[in-house]
Amino acid sequence: MIVFEIVCSNGHVFEEWFQNSVDYGEKLEKGLIKCPHCGDTNVRKILSPVPLAKNTRPNDLPDPPHKVAMHLMAKALYDFVEKNFEDVGPEFAKEALKIHYGISEPKNIKGTATKEEEAILEEEGVNFIRLPKPDPAPKLSMN
């Protein structure tokens, strides 16, 4: 058995069960599919919404285009930081404060900070962003 969502020429949408696609075609041809709202037999199949739960995509399908685009942008930003910022590691908060107060020359830095250090930087008005490492590359369509 298969269920199809159907619309009549008056715009009423309803569901109908069939043995298979051939059964639908035969009943359509014979005018046996009637709208339960108005009796119209001028009907056609429409796409049905399909609920999907998280992680139900088969592994061999490509990722949607927006995910691919977001990955490429995140990777480009991450690569730019990797190439153009000095890694100061866990000394990030100290170095950022030195630059902020003019003790050290301005430069692009990256590193790590604890939540407490981040709170101090925010209180002092130091601009910084947290940049996560991008997810592994999404699967691209080969079409």
78-94 confidence digits (pLDDT tens): 889 999 999 999 999 99
Spatial contact of 139 and 65, defined as CB atoms under 8 Å apart = no
pLDDT at 143 over 70: no
pLDDT band for 121, please (50, 70, 90 cuts): very high
pLDDT exceeds cutoff 80 at 120:
yes
**Residue 7 CB-density burial (10 A; 0-12 exposed, 13-18 middle, 19+ buried):** middle
The closest of 16, 18, 14, 17 to 37, measured between CA atoms, is: 14
Pairwise CA distance, residues 131 & 141, whole Å: 27
Q: What are phi and psi of 118, to 5 degrees?
A: -60, -40
pTM over 0.85? The answer is no
SS (H, E, C) 4-35: EEEEECCCCEEEEEECCHHHHHHHHHCCCCCC
Output 30 or 49, whichever has higher pLDDT: 30
Cβ atoms 97, 78 nearer than 8 A: no
From 46, 51, 52, 50, select the one nearest 15 (Cα to Cα). 46
The overall average pLDDT reported for the chain is 84
Mean pLDDT, rounded, for 7-27: 90
pLDDT in tens, 37-83: 999 999 999 876 655 555 555 555 566 677 777 778 888 888 899 99
Between CA 104 and CA 111, with CA 110 as vertex, the angle to 5 degrees is 105
Where residue 66 falls (left for φ over 0; alpha for ψ -120 to 50; beta otherwise) is alpha
pLDDT of residue 35: 93
- Phi/psi for 4 (5° steps) reads -120, 145
Dist CA 10 CA 19 (whole Å): 26
pLDDT at 21: 86
pLDDT at 132: 77
